[in-house]
Structures are given as structure tokens and as C-alpha cells.
Structure 1
């Protein structure tokens, strides 16, 4: 039997489920396909390895769709300050939400908890079906109607396929959308660690010639540690036992950080910037990692995805109200115009930080440290950067030369 929906969202993770929830009151028939069921939340468990730094703008979206109440009922780690430096902490810059009278700079939240909160928000809408677990067996993108066959045997036709299925998007491939990519000369080592003492309302980031080092607060006596280094070095770290790994952290990370008591879990991955050559085709739209991935040093990946959610849903809701075909290329290109250049600008900004700081060239090192000192003393500049961190400033505005 062939089933029909107006929108079929492939990928029910953070971005895909948020798109569905924001369209929940539209009356459009929506199916959300997710390959695997996330594990239920256990308050006694230690935090997961995969976390995101949600900006206030992203939290506003989650509040609007009814997901934030579920997320807060589980756990989050708000942070008020962000310390950035290179050689000495006192020569760096401290960004404080209080400088613009904001409650915090954001919340560190486990990706699984964000997904659980977004999928819980879907239950309030009768026009949304969450299909999980299941996956695509066949996908044909048509000019006006697309067809999907699932491994469970269900068959669908739809006016619009939304690919929110990650960096290796099946939807992007089926739509024959090309991809520009760049692999960074470093890998990321990530660990969830137990901590003792130290300040808990602050994120730390130090730049080294090999790559940044970060420590992010997590709920309870935990933190997320991120160490960017060469693939060989990261491979060595992955092979160390817990005691040797803690010793390596203590030898390389600044003394000012909270002391590490134990290792909960660890992982590593290469760093690749990807950007789809188009975000849309007739009957297809890409969002989140399916459209773009970014260097994670500033934790902006999921925030960019949630900005995609807002832009795409705004375009689709406006088109529906005007009686336009939601899957038409003319409608979907409005979304592409809003997000493609903005995401590219953010990628350029992250490359500037990555390559500008990850070297030991003398003149550049002097200029970097001088810039961090000046930024710490420049009230207007600091406030603009803080506004950017809160999602109130776009990367184009931040990079634009003064008038």
C-alpha cells in the first residue's frame, strides 16, 4: 500500500525532529524517519561523549517547539563565561554574559538529550508520525512527487523530502547534489572526565601550535575535554590506559583547569569541513550536517543546524499560507539564499581561528596575543563577540569591516 505525506524528513536527530516540531501546527502531514532509537535518559548515568554548546538563540527555538522543558527536566550545564588564551591566561580574553546583561552564554547539553527532548515535543501533534527504528531501502527523487521504500516494507510518496540525515546524507546523494570538502591537518580527541574543584560556570579554550585544547562543564562533577592534535598523537592517546591518559592531560593542559579524577569515556574523529554545492533541488531540501559541517572548535555545528531549522520552516510556512507549492524550486531557493552564504561565512571564520592560531610563527604569535589582550580591554568589541556567541550577531556582521 502506498502512503502519502506532504513532507518526509529523513533523519530524526536534533535537526530533523526540530524541523518536524516547528511545522507541527501547520496541518501538513509529516513523517520523520530515524534509523535507531536513542537510549532513554538515566539520571544516575554519567554524561555521554557527544555534547553541544547550545546558544541562547538555539534555546529559544527549543522553547518555541516545546522541547526545552523536556531537556531541562533531564540535565544541562549552563555557563556564564568563556576564557580564551594562548600562552598565559592573564594575556587572554574573558567573555562574560554579564557584560551585556545576559543570564548566560549558553548550555552544554548531551546530543542524545537534545534529541530526546525534540522527539518528545512531537507527541503533541497529530499530523506527525515518527517512524523509528527504520531506514530507507529505496529513494527516488521525482520532479513533483518523490517515492520512498523503507526496509520495513512501507512505501511513501511525498511532495518534499528533507535531508537531515547527517554528513553522509543519503538524500543528498539521491538528489545528485555535489559536495565541497576539506580535511584539516588535525584530529579531535574527546573524553568525558570526572573533575574535582575548579570553576564550573566557565568554558576554557587555549590555542597551541598543534591545535586548540578545550574543557567544557557538564552537569555534576564532570567535564568534556577536547584535544586537537595530529592524527598520530590522537592515535597514541587512544591507546593509553586511563592513568597514563590522565597524566598526559595534567602534563599538557593548563594548571588553572579543574583536576581530572577519572575517565568516563573517550573517542576520536578526523576534522572535515563539508559544504553542499546546493541546499535544494525541486522537491528536496538539506539541513544541518547534510548541508554543511564545520570545525567544532567553537561548538557552532548544531547551532547552525538550528538556524537552518528556523529559516526552512519560515519559508515553508509562508509558502503554505500563500498557496504555493512547498516543494517547488522557487520556494526552496528562498531558504538556500538565507542560509548558504551565512553558513559559508561561519566556516570561513572557523578556518581563520583554526589556521591563524595553530602555528608557532613568531610574528603571528605576537599579533595573536596582542589581539587577545586588546579584545579583553575593548568594551565594544567584546560586546559584539558576546552577542555573536549568544546568536544575536551573524558571522557576516562580525567579519564586516567598520564603516
Structure 2
């Protein structure tokens, strides 16, 4: 039998890949991280353009992995209320409904990544290959391991190969795993803005016929991260506007809910797609995070779903490893696929459904009635926000309790 270099080899050291690595390393496994991008030592003082609304479930995952304190030591922005509306209806959520301190936290991508990097540095059983890319991979003759060939000429063997590369996963492509993709004809504009009125630690989202506009509260009381999902031609026109004209367009779209937009930083766009792999696993191979699924950013659930993938798969792998079972076998990996695939598909359909519901003028009466009824039905509101916060559902152990 060929010697095994690593228990698990993870391709992609972004937030999902690094989180998964932390979980396995904490369980005493030998892990390799392969990352194509060179290491960056840049420290950003300004707010990052990419921010995430972390649920309470994600907070618990990071707490149990020894990462949350490192995040909190940098910069986090709790939100205690959520206000969603369109031209004819609205719904309001408050953390006091559930006797919770917060609904979640808005955290910048660079802050989460830095905390994970610091935590990974504390483990001695981690090996980094960076910058490096996987050229090819194949099962060994006895199918007891995967052999992975890097572009630097090295060949490594592992019991389990993980793709955490993101939506354009080369591992998924080379493994021949098909996926469904839906183009929405929209772009998301992201930026950091200053407003005349404080955000009141509230996540604000307005649904427009062209797409939703979210103002997410950051740590400074009059600073928000915006995510404006909008039809591509209009997004392209908005990106050509000078700062003042863009701020005026933003104020109009947001109905001056926080007063005038007094300043706006750099803007960026990314295309909106829904994507779902038809298989999450093969023998000795698994997809997690955006490599397996991407959803619309209507409720900020994309990263949270990926973190639940990482927590669920780590639980299955560590349980099998503790029992001296073959954690890389198709049988064990199918447990992960059955656990997470259905949950992710439901969220993908729900987000696509929201887009359809709010984009179709003929459905306006039904939409407004639904918003109004939900807003006045406290038990239903509580149930919705509990699922959105990660307080209900078939959650992994890392997301459930403090271990």
C-alpha cells in the first residue's frame, strides 16, 4: 500500500477551506492546504468592499473553532434589527423577539480571513502549499487514496481531496461533476457609504422592480456596506456615473431611509448566478461551499451555507476517523451529501423564488399581502428569523453547542 502524506488535502484556503481545515486540525488530523494565490501581507485600514452577514450558527462555528475571538478583536458590526420593504409592504424583525442579543454580525471578508489565518498558524499538523495549483489527480490502484499532482512537480497522496476553490472549481470540472447554472441577468454593486442618519444597528433591504438594495451596518454608526442587485445594463450605467451622481441615484433608490448619502468609496460589481452541483461527492472527493452551490445574495446566506457544509463534513470525517473507519470512502461521503444537498437546494430555490416574487409587477398584491400578514403574525415571524439566524434546522454539532 502506498504511503499516505495527508489525511485530507484541501484545495482553496479561503474562508470555507480554512474553516474546514481548522475543524479537522482541531480533531488531530494531518492536513494540507493548497492555494493558488500568493500570500498577501497587505493590511487594509479602510472597510473591505466584500462583507458578510454571519448568522448565529456561523458565530457558534467560529467560536467552537477558536476563531471568533480573533474576529471580534479586529472589527465586527452586530445588527439587532432587520427592516425589509417595497413600495407596498414591509416586515420588521428584532432580536428581542427571541430574547437574543443580536440577529447576527456584519463582518468583512478580510477580517474573517485574517482570523482564520492566525488560527491555522497555531496547528503543527498543517502543511501549506502556496502558491500552487492542482494539475491532475487520480485514485490509486487500490482506490485507498487520491494522488494529487501539483504544478510545482510535487505528487501528494491523501485519503480525501476537498474542493473549496469557489464557484469556478477546477477540481469539480476535472472530476466531471455536472452542475446546473442559472444566469439572472444582474450584477451586484458593492461599496461602502456614509449616510446622514445612523444605521441604528439595523440591516435595511428595499426590494425594487430591478432588484433588492441592502444597506448593512458597519462598526461606525453612519457607515454602511451596500449590496445593490440590479439588471446588468442599468448596473453598467450606474458604474459609469461620477461619485455625486451615483450617490444621488442611491438616495433615490433607497428612498432616503437613512437620509442623504454623504460619501461613497470605491465601487465594484460581480455577476449574480445560481449554481448547484448535481453531485457533491465521489470516492475520495468532496465539494464544499461555492464549489457545490451559489445562491443569490438576497439574505446573505451564501457564506453561511458554506460554513455549514464545512461543519457537517468535518463532523462526519472526524466521527469516522475516531472509529478507525475509512472517512474518504464513498459510503461515508454520501452521508455529507444527503445531509447538506437538500438543505442547500431549498435555500437556492427560496432565493430564486424571492427574486421572482419581487420582480413581477402582477404579483405585487400577493407580495404586499404576504409581507403585511407575516409582519403581524408573531409566531410566523419568529419561525422565519430562527431559521435565518441558524437557530433551527438540522445543524452540525459545531453550529449547535459550544464544544
Which residue is 1:111 aligned to? 109
Which residue is 1:401 aligned to? none
Which residue is 1:150 aligned to? 150
Which residue is 2:98 aligned to? 100
CA shift in 2, pair 1:258/1:32, >3 Å: farther
Which residue is 1:388 aligned to? 387
Where does 1:3-402 land on structure 2 (aligned, <5 Å)? 4-37=5-38, 39-40=40-41, 42=43, 45-87=45-87, 91-142=89-140, 143-220=143-220, 221-361=222-362, 364-394=363-393
Contact 1:77 1:108 in 2 (8 A): yes
Give the 3-state SS of the residue equivalent to 1:172 in structure 2. helix
User: What is the alpha-carbon distance in structure 2 between the residues aligned to residue 105 and residue 37 of structure 1?
Assistant: 35
Deviates more, 1:26-35 or 1:136-145: 136-145
Give the 3-state SS of the residue equivalent to 2:265 in structure 1. strand
Contact 2:4 2:145 in 1 (8 A): no
User: What is the alpha-carbon distance in structure 2 between the residues aligned to residue 95 and residue 348 of structure 1?
Assistant: 22
CA shift in 2, pair 1:163/1:259, >3 Å: same
Give the 3-state SS of the residue equivalent to 2:173 in structure 1. helix
Contact 2:36 2:131 in 1 (8 A): yes
1:222: Cα distance to partner?
2.2
Contact 1:181 1:273 in 2 (8 A): yes
Question: Could you report, residue by residue, the CA deviation over 1:160-198 in whole angstroms, capped at 9, with x for unpaired residues?
Answer: 100001001111112211111111132222222233323
Question: Could you report, residue by residue, the CA deviation over 1:133-186 in whole angstroms, capped at 9, with x for unpaired residues?
Answer: 332233335533222233334331111100001001111112211111111132
Structure 1: which 5+ runs fail to align? 397-403
Give the 3-state SS of the residue equivalent to 2:386 in structure 1. helix
Contact 2:191 2:267 in 1 (8 A): yes
Contact 1:144 1:282 in 2 (8 A): no
Give the 3-state SS of the residue equivalent to 1:256 in structure 2. coil
**What RMSD in Å do the two structures reach over aligned CA positions?**
1.9
Contact 1:141 1:175 in 2 (8 A): no
Give the 3-state SS of the residue equivalent to 2:161 in structure 1. strand
Give the 3-state SS of the residue equivalent to 1:219 in structure 2. coil
Question: Could you report, residue by residue, the CA deviation over 1:178-237 in whole angstroms, capped at 9, with x for unpaired residues?
Answer: 111111132222222233323330011111111111111122242111222211000101
User: What is the alpha-carbon distance in structure 2 between the residues aligned to residue 42 and residue 157 of structure 1?
Assistant: 35
Contact 1:7 1:159 in 2 (8 A): yes
CA shift in 2, pair 1:78/1:139, >3 Å: same
Question: Could you report, residue by residue, the CA deviation over 1:51-81 in whole angstroms, capped at 9, with x for unpaired residues?
Answer: 1110010010001111111111111111000
Contact 1:208 1:359 in 2 (8 A): no
Contact 1:52 1:110 in 2 (8 A): yes
Give the 3-state SS of the residue equivalent to 2:5 in structure 1. strand
Question: Could you report, residue by residue, the CA deviation over 1:318-366 in whole angstroms, capped at 9, with x for unpaired residues?
Answer: 11122211110001000001000110011111111110111211xx211
User: What is the alpha-carbon distance in structure 1 between the residues aligned to residue 189 and residue 7 of structure 2?
Assistant: 41
1:252: Cα distance to partner?
2.1
Contact 1:41 1:74 in 2 (8 A): no
CA shift in 2, pair 1:181/1:94, >3 Å: same
Deviates more, 1:5-14 or 1:214-223: 214-223
User: What is the alpha-carbon distance in structure 1 between the residues aligned to residue 258 and residue 206 of structure 2?
Assistant: 11
User: What is the alpha-carbon distance in structure 1 between the residues aligned to residue 249 and residue 26 of structure 2?
Assistant: 52
User: What is the alpha-carbon distance in structure 1 between the residues aligned to residue 139 and residue 272 of structure 2?
Assistant: 30
Report the TM-score, using the length of structure 1 for normalisation: 0.92
1:86: Cα distance to partner?
0.9
1:377: Cα distance to partner?
1.0
Contact 2:4 2:159 in 1 (8 A): no
User: What is the alpha-carbon distance in structure 2 between the residues aligned to residue 160 and residue 149 of structure 1?
Assistant: 14
Contact 1:3 1:155 in 2 (8 A): no
Deviates more, 1:272-281 or 1:224-233: 224-233
Give the 3-state SS of the residue equivalent to 1:274 in structure 2. strand
